Chains A and B, each alone.
Chain A
């Protein structure tokens, strides 16, 4: 029984971090029809900035929001400098479809190499702000520590705030309209260019939170070639695809499903099979229900 509860807790904990990454990918996809493979690089950069801020201020609670804001600014900058130019240059031709993919990939390499230049290729270490020892229920220690709780609360908080923005504010309406049809939104007086940049900025903040939280929740160590961040990108992508790549609730649902499935595999079968199962799940979803759990058939445009 305790094992089953721990499995649930581990699954939801891991899934909540994938959810942040998936949200970032969905936001970028909705605003510019680009899968941002550099999202891992941006999250990595924000994590390093967070590390610097923790060093300077000595306080994780100031570093986290600041890193998210800086991550958002960087993401907006990328959209303005790189993605806008790309979309302007390559609207047609045989390579139009692959150009954004290749460009974000190049950006990923660029960010990683730049981080290596600035901070070196050795691991850096961020101290976790809270205890990582699980709470005690009676005699047993469950797989839920104050740190896990923080991660969960942050993710839930972000989802609530994003949900509020998207459903209740004018900005959210503009974001949804631009995603639905850029032309119509433009005719209705929405400045689609600015809205796209905002979409990227929010994605940058979500990615920054994902990177920092994953790091302090894990070993606390990061390096520019960190496999954890490559996996974060992959699992975020898989979660976003499970959710249909169009919907934010879908992304969260996909991430939690992925987290739970991987937790089942890890605890009941073997930890080394985790990646293969995730990959098989991705292929299965793409072949059986390519529009994702949530999302209509017409939603899958590319």
Chain B
């Protein structure tokens, strides 16, 4: 079904989400919106790492560019909501292009260190510019849901709709890009860049392009994230966010888009699980503060040790092996 009629599947999936959003409570709707945002952000990392072999530990910084661009365009020029998201994508893509120019000349650990440095230094860079509002950051208010949706249509449901729609469009589009000439070129570059070059692929240009597209998606995720918390500030894009997203990508499996939901749902579920554990056992504050980080990093280490390609890829490989016998 998914293979033959992807568009149809995506529409059905969207309809199911729509029906679900009417049935569950506010908290779940908000978490749903967060999952949708993480899906976009993780997909952008998967695109970069899994399909073009570059690794970025500083995706939080690209999300921040998107968030700030959206908030600025809304506050300064009063741009309509849909336009702020477009501006966020373009601004982050531009940032990603510049970073990509440098990145294309760097290999693995150098790029990882550089992007990590960017994520660590992001707050101090953001504080340099008064237009970005310093520690407090900027407000980003997308306004109340349109009236034709009814009286009892809540703000969170509106967030959920926007985020889900954006995620569905982004993943559908990304899926098509992956199967296009560009996607195949990226896979070739990842597989063996010398061979790719011999096959007539411009390796450098393709890496920069992959970085640009990935950054654009990250910018979209950043604008959506800013939307759900109504502000953009350096504190909204901490180093922990970059780490979480990298973890989400690894849990999803960086070589395929198929598992993107796994990472996104896990990232949202972990704080929820911790809350349950803490209230059940009436644990101390230090448990509540540190358990999420401990779970995320333990999962990360276990995943790279035992299923480095991600669970989906692992299952597929096992399935293929069995089919061969």
A residues whose Cβ falls under 8 Å from a Cβ of B: 29, 34-35, 37, 82, 85-86, 89-90, 93-95, 97-99, 101-103, 105-110, 112-114, 116-117, 120-121, 224, 230-231, 233-234, 237-238, 241, 272-276, 278-279, 282-283, 286-287, 290, 302
Contacts and interface: CB of A to CB of B under 8 A. Distances in A.
A241 B124 contact: no
A302 B286 contact: no
B124 A94 contact: no
Contact of B305 (A86, A230, A274, A290): A86
A271 B10 CA distance: 51
Given A93-B309, A117-B286, 19 more contacts: A37-B113, A94-B309, A95-B254, A99-B308, A101-B57, A102-B250, A105-B243, A106-B297, A106-B304, A109-B293, A117-B290, A121-B286, A233-B116, A233-B120, A234-B116, A279-B118, A286-B102, A286-B105, A302-B110
A93 B254 CA distance: 12
Contacts of A302: 107-110
B121 interface: yes
A275 B106 contact: no
Contacts of B246: 102, 105
A241 B111 CA distance: 11
Interface stretch (B30-38, B48-56, B174-182, B203-211): B48-56
Given A101-B108, A276-B125, A109 B300 contact: yes
Contact of B53 (A85, A94, A109, A272): A94
Given A94-B255, A290-B106, A110 B298 contact: yes
Contacts of A272: 124, 127-128
A276 B246 CA distance: 24
B121 A117 contact: no
Interface string B299-313: 011001100110000
Interface string B119-163: 011001101100000000000000000000000000000000000
Contact of A237 (B117, B124, B296, B309): B117
B169 interface: no
Contacts, number: 154
Contact of A103 (B53, B114, B301, B309): B301
12 contacts: A34-B109, A35-B112, A85-B305, A97-B55, A101-B55, A102-B300, A110-B294, A116-B289, A275-B124, A282-B114, A283-B102, A286-B106
A282 B111 CA distance: 11
Contacts of A97: 53, 55, 107-108
A35 B113 contact: yes
Contacts of A241: 110, 113
Contacts of B108: 97-98, 101, 302
Nearest to A122: B286
B190 interface: yes
Contacts of B117: 234, 237-238, 278-279, 282
A281 to B, nearest CB: 10
B247 interface: yes
A276 B113 CA distance: 15
Nearest to B310: A95
B67 to A, nearest CB: 20
Contact of B254 (A35, A98, A103): A98
A114 B289 CA distance: 11
Contacts of B297: 106-110, 113
B119 to A, nearest CB: 9
Contacts of B291: 113
Nearest to B118: A279
Interface in B261-290: 286-287, 289-290
Contacts of B243: 105, 109
B191 interface: yes
A69 to B, nearest CB: 25
A129 B174 CA distance: 58
B289 A290 contact: no
Contact of A90 (B49, B128, B290, B308): B308
A231 B127 CA distance: 16
B278 to A, nearest CB: 13
B309 A95 contact: yes
A287 B191 CA distance: 24
Contacts of A90: 304, 308
Contacts of A275: 121, 124-125
Contacts of A274: 124
A113 B125 contact: no
B304 A116 contact: no
B41 interface: no
A89 B308 contact: yes
A207 to B, nearest CB: 16
B239 interface: yes
B120 A103 contact: no
Nearest to B290: A116
Contact of A279 (B107, B121, B292): B121
